[in-house]
Amino acid sequence: MGRYALLVGVSNYDADFTALPSAVKDVKAMQRVLLNPEIGGFFDSDVTVLVDCDRQAIERAVFRLFNDRKPDDLLLFYFSGHGVTDNRSDFYLASKNANKKELDITAVPAANIHIQMNKSRSQRQVVILDCCHSGAFSKGMTAKDGGTVNVLPKLGGEGRAILTASDSTKYAFEQEGFDLSLYTHFLVEGLEKGAADQDGDGEISVDELYEYVKEKVKNTNDAMSPEFYPVKGGHKIILAKSPQDDPKLKYRKEVESRAKLSNGKFSLFARNMLMSKRTEWGLTVTEAEAIEIEVLLPYREYDKKLNEFEQALTDAIKIEFPFSPATTTDLQDYEQYLGLREDDIKVVKARIIAPRQAEYDRQFADQQNEVAKAEQLRLQQVAEAERQKQENDRLSLLEQLRKQSEEEERLKRQQEEEERLRRHSKPAQSEFEFESFKVRLVKGSSGFLGLGTKTKVELDRKKRKAQVVLKRKGCRKISR
């Protein structure tokens, strides 16, 4: 039974990808752990290390790792660097010369590694990927019989285990305060310190390592999602040994247990118990403090980010509140970047934003009340103006009716008066005198023998009076 490993780290890229200073350090740290006879037990000649190499070199080394092996050989492939998916969601390991526009020919396709894994006779295969989107590595893997294994996501082979720093959609992070990438830091810690030996049997299995690393990573950066894809007995593959009855390991586990209960903050009682344990197990103060620093580092780093978030939020609401849609999006991205837990974010927001929000709501409510009052006053004024207009119109109409009534009454009285006068009063008369003359011609005989004719004029003169009565349609003359 042999133990073989291929460790690949790419820190520097020719194009398209940012540098990852920790990747090469990750490989060196993993090499140190594997070569330690008390931990990994790998021989130096059986561990291949590649740093900042191209696709061809990686694929050649992958072929050599899986080719011509025995069924009980343990094969470990570790990669630290950039992982990338294309528009078909196919996964690639970015080599030094990887180009995003030519991934098929410049990066290492996961499918090519699948082929070598499926062709290998080894039934103990472990793949550890510390890169973004690494959960996508398992996509499309098939079993040696050509069928697709009914596991989600799809995996294949016997005794196969894949550990990834993230799922297929998320990112892996380098973390301030850590020399290595966050994921590899806890891989190395769990193996090197023996802390991943959950059951204390002196051996660290793949599933124990995964559980240890996942908890540590999530305590430090909640945005990362380490995943584990075992097939058949792959979860029980033994990767390393751990010391038994080691005082340092016992103290570490005690510190971890207390830290987990109190979220990295020891009560006075916990501190007294740890001091007693340290004395009981014969550790020096320096040794105990070094262990506590290592164990509490994730909590300290997380608290640092939480304080950074709280300060940033405090400063932000002084500049702008409420936040614009763009600022809200930036805030959400910032929360994701820091990897804070949702519950902690809510607590900080409740402490920072809630009072400001309450003040804003109060001011907004006051403004709304003022607006409502102004609107109510305007409506009252409009109503009063309308009422006044209607009253004026009513009074005007009443005045018109009064005048009309008075005019009608006056005309009525006038008519009645005229009628009364017509009935009860004699009309005025005009009286004048005049003379009348009556002329009559009388014929008689005259001359000789009365043969001539003589005309005599007789005048009858009389004085008379006349009275004129005026009527509507004319005059009447009365003579006397």
Query: Does 295 score more than 80 pLDDT?
Result: yes
3-state percent breakdown (helix, strand, coil) of the chain, nearest 5: 50, 20, 30
* pLDDT for res 150: 33
Which run of H or of E encompasses 393?
Answer: helix 342-424
Tokens of 5: 């490993």
**Where does the pLDDT of residue 425 fall: very low under 50, low under 70, confident under 90, or very high at 90 and above?**
low
**Helix, strand or coil for residue 31?**
helix
Q: Give the predicted TM-score (pTM) of the model.
A: 0.70
- Minimal CA–CA distance to 302: which of 191, 194, 173, 135? 173
Tokens of 145: 């019989």
Cβ atoms 126, 75 nearer than 8 A? yes
* pLDDT for res 222: 84
**Where does the pLDDT of residue 248 fall: very low under 50, low under 70, confident under 90, or very high at 90 and above?**
very high
Distances (CA, A) of 280 to 194, 285, 308: 20, 12, 39
Return the higher-pLDDT residue of 479 and 440.
Answer: 440
Query: Does 139 score more than 80 pLDDT?
Result: no
* pLDDT for res 358: 85
- Tell me: the pLDDT tens digits for 212-241? 999 999 888 888 889 888 887 778 899 999
- Tell me: the pLDDT tens digits for 261-288? 988 999 999 999 999 999 999 999 999 9
322: preceding bond cis by omega (within 30 degrees): yes
The answer for residues whose C-beta is within 8 angstroms of residue 477's C-beta and 6 or more apart is 466, 467, 468
Percent pLDDT > 70 in the chain is 81
- Tell me: the pLDDT tens digits for 115-125? 999 999 999 99
- Tell me: the pLDDT tens digits for 401-423? 999 999 998 998 888 888 888 88
* pLDDT for res 478: 47
Render 436-467 in DSSP notation, one character per residue.
EEEEEEEEEEESGGG-EEEEEEEEEEEEEEEE
Fold of 3-243: Rossmann fold (3.40.50)
* pLDDT for res 46: 96
Q: Which of 147-151, 438-442, 466-470 has the highest mean pLDDT?
A: 438-442
Return the higher-pLDDT residue of 335 and 460.
Answer: 335
**Rounded average pLDDT over 383-401:** 92
**Where does the pLDDT of residue 444 fall: very low under 50, low under 70, confident under 90, or very high at 90 and above?**
low
User: Whole-number mean pLDDT of the chain?
Assistant: 84
Rounded-to-integer distance, Cα 112 and Cα 146, Å: 15
